[in-house]
Amino acid sequence: MNRGMEALKLVPPGRDELDLDAVNAALEGADAEEVVRWAAETFGERLVMSSSFGAQSALMLHLASRVVPRIPVIFLDTGYLFPETYQFAEALTERLGLRLEVYTPKMTAARQEALFGRLYDGDADELRRYHEINKLEPMRRALRELDAAAWLAGLRAEQTEFRAGLAPVVRQNGVYKVHPILHWTKQDVADYFDLYDLPYHPLLAWGYRSIGDVHSTVPVAPGEADDRAGRLLGDKRECGIHLPDPETAASLKSSGL
């Protein structure tokens, strides 16, 4: 039995609090499918996943749905997505038989702009307000309404400095986050796409390597190594969905993570 499967013995289903140090030590070296299987065994029907239906989203959707068919897939529709993103989401939903759970802001894009202006073009406070309305509140609502105990996310360590400091399993705002492909390289990703003949987001061919809202996504220069260089999301290049609450963030900062 490999180390990833040994982790199942450490955290039996139904346990409220996990020993994250023990879990992460046991999952070290486990492959992505084993991590997803551990999460399914541990959290059962309270396991969900999120997808932005971005450039390489087909990978995690395919991986998770192979191991956990009909896992709830949270899709945040901000109202500002590219037309190609909506079309890509529909195509992948049909191909993979996804159980798509679409969540939208309580305030439409038109109403937001009428009342507050273009928050996404504003200062740091306005950008935080934009993220809260369009992404953070809908995500909290989704996790609450789906009674989620854990959330699969396709973050990779090489994407941002923040993500490089993550562990395979963390706790964020009361919900466990599980990162099956955290240590995958760009070549690992490319190999998986080739193996299963998966489609990339159509805008990838036009230089959009990390795809979010229309107003905060631009093509990446051919020589740019950072795929998220085209995301205009503030200094962290994160919309906030994957960032911890302020208290946890302060603890991470003080610890150098």
Q: What is the pLDDT of residues 104-114, one digit of tens each?
A: 999 999 999 99
Closest C-alpha to 51, from 30, 66, 71, 31: 71
Q: Give the residues across from 177 on adjacent strands.
A: 151, 170
| Pairing status of strand 150-152 against strand 175-178 | parallel
Amino acid 161: pLDDT: 82
Closest C-alpha to 210, from 174, 237, 184: 237
**CATH number of the domain residue 172 falls in:** 3.40.50.620
237 is a domain residue: yes
Amino acid 225: pLDDT: 60
Taking all residues of the chain, what is their mean pLDDT, rounded to a whole number?
Answer: 84
- List strand residue ranges (DSSP E) for 66-146, in order: 72-76, 99-103
Closest C-alpha to 130, from 153, 107, 103, 159: 107
145 is a domain residue: yes
Give residue 160's pLDDT band: very low, low, confident or very high (50, 70, 90): confident
Q: Give the residues across from 102 on adjacent strands.
A: 75
pLDDT, mean of residues 193-207: 93
26 is a domain residue: no
Check whether 3 has a pLDDT greater than 50: no
DSSP state of 1: -
CA distance 179 to 169: 6
Query: Of residues 71, 136, 239, 241, which has the active-site annotation?
Result: 239
128 conformational bin, left if phi > 0, alpha if psi -120 to 50, beta if neither: alpha
pTM beyond cutoff 0.75: yes
8 Å CB contact between 180 and 60: yes
pLDDT, mean of residues 44-70: 95
Instruction: Provide Rg for the chain, Cα atoms.
Output: 18
Amino acid 25: pLDDT: 94
8 Å CB contact between 80 and 182: no
Q: What's the total number of domains in the chain?
A: 1
| Sign for the pseudo-dihedral over CA of 66, 69, 70, 74 | negative
Check whether 257 has a pLDDT greater than 60: no
Closest C-alpha to 50, from 234, 177, 193: 177
State the residue for tokens 């009909």: 70
| Sign for the pseudo-dihedral over CA of 197, 200, 202, 207 | negative
Amino acid 173: pLDDT: 86
Residues in the chain: 257
29 is a domain residue: no
8 is a domain residue: no
30 is a domain residue: no
Amino acid 233: pLDDT: 60
19 is a domain residue: no
Instruction: Tell me whether residue 19 is one of the annotated catalytic residues.
Output: no
214 is a domain residue: yes
The helix (H) or strand (E) run that includes residue 92 is helix 83-96
- The sheet with strand 150-152 has its strands ordered as 99-103, 72-76, 47-50, 150-152, 175-178, 169-172
CA distance 65 to 84: 22
Domain residue limits at 183: 43-247
Amino acid 63: pLDDT: 97
Amino acid 244: pLDDT: 56
Give residue 249's pLDDT band: very low, low, confident or very high (50, 70, 90): very low
